[in-house]
A = this chain, B = another copy of it.
Amino acid sequence: MTTYYNEHQKFLVSVDVIIFGFDEQKLKVLIGRRQMDPGRGEWSLYGGFVSADESLNQAAAHTLEKLTGLKDIYMRQVGAFGDVDRDPGERVISVAYYALINVKDYDEKKRVKHGLEWVDINKIPTLYSDHNLMVGRALTKMRQKIKTEPISFRLLPSLFTLTQLQRLYEAVIGEQVDKRNFRKRIKDMDFIEKTNLIDKKSSKRGAALYRFNNKVYNEDPNFKL
């Protein structure tokens, strides 16, 4: 292969993933103690270096898979972070991605093995490098998306109650919403289907379980919360 751009500087490039999960009425992020120098022991996002044979998206997907064992995780780029001194070790340009997973799909053994914790989005400690900034940007992006695209379902089990959906939405946007108005909006979306199944765990009376029907959604992709 010919090299055209010889004279220019090359950089380490990493991806850092902000993994969101929803649990016990709270929106959480997976973070862990950094296991290498520099910054060993500090709270940090999970990340990895990009290798020559993978695109940035692939690198992020691989990182997510390595961490969770899950494939086809919903994932979006947050942006590139490139301050000269952002990494105390050496110059590294990092591309952040956020991902949404259902906490129950995530094997606890894997979580512990990687030394990760689910931390409430409102109680995030100081993180390594510029990771707090990354989390903030990711949240902003996700908040926008969740109002116009059906990504909530990525954070919930495939069967869920309307109360669960509402609690999730409230946790993401950070404010409470009116139950009747919320359910009215849901009723207008045909791709959120009521099943015959009843969830008896959450209440004595039991709550109807709903399902997101992606096929119906694709016929008329209109989502608005």
Contact = CB atoms under 8 A, between A and B. Distances in A.
Interface of A: 1-5, 8-13, 36-38, 49-57, 59, 77, 79-84, 89-93, 95
Contacts of A92: 5
Contact of A56 (B51, B82, B89, B90): B82
B13 A90 contact: no
Nearest to A7: B49
A11 B9 contact: no
A216 to B, nearest CB: 26
A9 B89 contact: no
Nearest to A144: B144
A53 B8 CA distance: 12
A4 B82 contact: no
Nearest to A85: B55
Contacts of A84: 52-55
A89 B37 CA distance: 35
Contact of A5 (B8, B55, B81, B90): B90
